[in-house]
């Protein structure tokens, strides 16, 4: 599994096996063409999580040049100009012989979907999740089209996946997310440790992703809205927060993060 850097901070994830490749959210076609040529791979499929330009901008050119089939979110069909096979939660799609389950994760956009496979042929057979702009390492996507309740439910669904799941997020936002996470939970030892490791990776020019889901559950404030420390911090930001209501805590955290420097 390769994160192909695109634009300022996007990753286009590429899976490959036996000379064939699949890409997720190709916002730009060129990094994909380059990776295919370098490795002598044929494009066998394109998966899309949501309609934003930085995720679909390269789909038409890749489809035209390679004939690769495209799958995407059924509920965002009218917002994506390229024809694709529509998918929604509960559907399955097989690519490179791997069956991916589709999960509905509304919040960042109204029809956002994620792709989960329990095992991959390429690396150690661990599960993998392509979650677009829903879950980031130490953070989550902004709510452009959904409500806090929807996003909390979407994150709950992703957080329930196995702990060894490799989380393939679509942006390298980890360091700025970690800065916020440390402000929310300054006493979280695992968070401080993870933060130090991510700074080292970035200093060496390496991606912090994929993340490990078990780590995210321990350090990502948006997956920890039921923790007393996180609820208390949210209440410090907004005194109206109900500390026993995960959605209320989530909404305050999201607002706080939106303006956090
Ligand atoms: Zn997006
Ligand atoms: Fe994005």
Per-residue tokens: 188:
């979280």
Q: What is the pLDDT of residue 1?
A: 87
260 DSSP assignment = -
Plot region of 44 (φ>0 → left; ψ -120 to 50 → alpha; else → beta): alpha
Distance from the first to the final alpha carbon of the chain: 32
Q: What is the pLDDT of residue 261?
A: 86
Instruction: Please determine, for residue 215, whether its predicted confidence score (pLDDT) is greater than 90.
Output: yes
Q: What is the pLDDT of residue 119?
A: 81
Q: What is the pLDDT of residue 148?
A: 98
Q: What is the pLDDT of residue 124?
A: 65
Q: What are the tens digits of pLDDT across the range 15-37?
A: 999 999 999 999 999 999 999 99
Spacing, Cα 171 to ligand 1 middle (Å): 9
76 DSSP assignment = G
Q: Which of 173, 156, 151 is nearest to 253 (CA)?
A: 151
Q: What is the pLDDT of residue 103?
A: 98
Instruction: Please determine, for residue 71, whether its predicted confidence score (pLDDT) is greater than 70.
Output: yes
Q: Which of 131, 169, 236, 134 is nearest to 253 (CA)?
A: 236
175 φ, ψ (degrees, to nearest 5)? -65, -40
Spacing, Cα 133 to ligand 1 middle (Å): 5
In 3-state terms, what secondary structure has residue 235? Answer: helix
Identify residues whose C-beta is under 5 A from ligand 1, the ion. Answer: 52, 133
Which residues are the active-site residues? 50, 52, 54-55, 108, 133, 171
Relative to beta strand 98-104, strand 128-132 is unpaired
Distance CA 144, CA 118 (A): 30
Average pLDDT over residues 102-128: 89
Residue that wins the pLDDT comparison between 120 and 218: 218
Q: What are the tens digits of pLDDT across the range 132-171?
A: 999 999 999 999 999 999 999 999 999 999 999 999 999 9
Place of tokens 């968070």: 191
Q: What are the tens digits of pLDDT across the range 178-204?
A: 999 999 999 999 999 999 999 999 999
Query: CA separation (Å) from 200 to 23, 105, 158, 211?
Result: 27, 31, 27, 15
Instruction: Please determine, for residue 120, whether its predicted confidence score (pLDDT) is greater than 80.
Output: no
Q: What is the pLDDT of residue 257?
A: 98
Beta carbons of 104 and 154 less than 8 angstroms apart: yes
Spacing, Cα 171 to ligand 2 middle (Å): 7
Distance CA 62, CA 41 (A): 13
Average pLDDT over residues 1-8: 96
Q: What is the pLDDT of residue 122?
A: 62
Q: Which of 137, 68, 135 is nearest to 103 (CA)?
A: 135
Q: List the single range of 101-110, 120-129, 176-185, 190-199 with lowest mean pLDDT.
A: 120-129
In 3-state terms, what secondary structure has residue 73? Answer: strand
Beta carbons of 128 and 11 less than 8 angstroms apart: no
Beta carbons of 4 and 13 less than 8 angstroms apart: yes
Spacing, Cα 225 to ligand 1 middle (Å): 23
Q: What is the pLDDT of residue 175?
A: 98
Average pLDDT over residues 83-111: 97
Per-residue tokens: 174:
């980890």
């Amino acid at each position: 599994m390769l994160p192909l850097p695109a634009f300022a901070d996007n990753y286009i994830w590429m899976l490959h096996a036996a000379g064939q490749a699949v890409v997720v959210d190709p916002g730009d076609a060129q990094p994909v063409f380059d990776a295919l040529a370098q490795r002598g791979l044929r494009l066998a499929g394109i998966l899309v999580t949501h309609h934003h330009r930085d995720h679909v901008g390269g789909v038409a050119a890749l489809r035209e040049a390679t004939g690769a089939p495209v799958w995407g979110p059924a509920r965002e069909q009218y917002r994506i100009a390229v024809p694709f096979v529509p998918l929604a939660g509960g559907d399955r799609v097989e690519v490179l012989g791997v069956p991916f389950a589709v999960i509905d994760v509304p919040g960042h956009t109204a029809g956002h979907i994620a792709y989960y496979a329990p095992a991959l042929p390429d690396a150690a057979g661990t599960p993998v999740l392509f979650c677009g702009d829903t879950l980031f390492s130490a953070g989550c996507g902004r709510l452009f089209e959904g409500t806090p309740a929807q996003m909390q439910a979407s994150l709950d669904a992703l957080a329930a996946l196995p702990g060894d799941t490799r989380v393939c997020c679509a942006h390298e936002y980890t360091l700025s997310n970690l800065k916020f996470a440390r402000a929310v939970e300054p006493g979280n030892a695992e968070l401080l440790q993870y933060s130090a490791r991510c700074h080292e990776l970035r200093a060496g020019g390496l991606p912090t992703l994929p993340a490990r889901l078990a780590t995210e559950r321990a350090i990502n404030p948006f997956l920890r809205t039921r923790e007393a420390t996180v609820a208390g911090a949210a209440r410090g930001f907004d005194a109206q927060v109900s500390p026993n209501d995960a959605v209320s805590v989530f909404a305050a955290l999201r607002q706080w993060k939106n303006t956090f420097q």
